[in-house]
Structure 1
């Protein structure tokens, strides 16, 4: 049995920086996942980074949803990659929480307890304080992010079933109530 963690990272008070949190809450609300052998937890990790180490280390596989910085990409471009084989154009010197997450994964590597890690990232448009929501470029990227994640989970053998027709716009207004800067979990 594999324990798999879908972890949304981001600061919902900084516009596009909150996409990881918004996206994982959206997936949690929209889908039901089942598997005969694997367990999937969906967690809003907010901006905790290093505080998540004890939680992350309990899993066999980790899927991080976050913004990524890429000097050659346009806002809204989606990347899905194995953390150990990150594309050369990914620049980890983006936002403060992005750098902290990289440091967290590197520290976990040093002690040998980082799970196999995939990154579902999107290039942000605006990092603007006190703006709850996504810019049009990131909003347009959500369907591709959703298809990419669902395809990956189905390749792992998960049965996926949309249980509601919710949109990400319906999830965003409650983001600060759901987790934001502390981890919340739903096992599926």
Structure 2
């Protein structure tokens, strides 16, 4: 059995910075996934980064959802790539949690604990404190991100069923009440 982790990273209090968290909560609330042998777990990792290592290391496969910066990219552009083969234009220096997540994955790689990792990223428009929600550019990227993720999971043999016909706007107001808590 392969254990897959869909991990949303971000700070929901900084507008577009919270896309990873909002997106995985949306997917978790909207879909139920099934597979003959494998399992997918969906986790809001917030900004814990290194605190997530004990949890991440228990998985065989990781999909990180987060903001990414890219040279000459327009806000709302979606990227999906293998962490081991990141496009040259991807810049991880956008925010403190991105750098910390990159360092976390690199540390796990050094000790051989990092699972096969893919990144579903989107370039942010606004990263400002105390704004709960997404800008129009990132809001418009949600269908592309959703299609990309569902296609990838289908390629891995998962089927999905819509359990709740919701929008991401219905998930965002409660984002600060959710989150990952890792026992140390």
Instruction: Tell me, yes or no, whether TM beats 0.5.
Output: yes
Counterparts of 1:31 and 1:56 in 2: how far apart (Å)?
Answer: 22
Contact 1:44 1:183 in 2 (8 A): no
Q: CA deviation at 1:178?
A: 1.0
Q: Does 1:129 align with 2:129?
A: yes
Query: How far is 1:183 from its partner?
Result: 3.8
Give the whole-Å Cα distance in 2 for the aligned partners of 1:183 and 1:131.
23
- CA distance in structure 2 between the aligned counterparts of 1:24 and 1:91, rounded to whole angstroms: 22
Question: 1:44, 1:3 → 2: CA distance?
Answer: 17
**1:72-93 deviation per Cα after TM superposition (whole angstroms, max 9, x unaligned):** 2000000000000000000111
Taking the aligned partners of 1:22 and 1:85, their CA distance within structure 2 comes to 26
- In the aligned structure 2, how far is the partner of 1:43 from the partner of 1:146? 16
* 1:22 equivalent in structure 2: 22
Question: Where do 1:156-167 residues align within 5 Å?
Answer: 156-167=156-167
Find the counterpart in structure 1 of residue 76 from structure 2: 76
Structural mapping, 1:139-158, within 5 Å: 139-158=139-158
Instruction: Answer whether contact 1:43 1:183 (CA < 8 A) is retained.
Output: no
Determine the C-alpha separation between the residues in 2 that align with 1:147 and 1:71.
24
Q: How big is the alpha-carbon RMSD for the aligned residues of Structure 1 and Structure 2? A: 0.8
Rounded Cα–Cα distance in structure 2 between residues aligned with 1:110 and 1:72 = 31
Partner-residue secondary structure (3-state), 1:36: coil
Could you say what secondary structure the match of 1:37 adopts? coil
Q: Is 2:48 the partner of 1:48?
A: yes
Question: Residue 140 of structure 2: SS of its match in structure 1?
Answer: helix
Deviation above 4 Å: which 4+ runs of structure 1? none
The aligned residue for residue 6 of structure 2 is 6
Gaps of 5+ in 2: none
How far apart in 2 are the matches of 1:7 and 1:93?
19
Which sections of structure 1, spanning at least 5 residues, go unmatched?
none
> Offset at 1:71?
1.8
1:164, CA displacement in angstroms?
1.4
Query: Normalization by structure 1: what TM-score?
Result: 0.95
Task: Tell me by how many angstroms 1:95 deviates.
Answer: 0.6
Aligned-partner SS, 2:79: strand
* Partner in structure 2 of residue 117 of structure 1: 117
Distance in 1 of aligned mates of 2:110 and 2:157: 31
Match of 1:99 in 2: 99
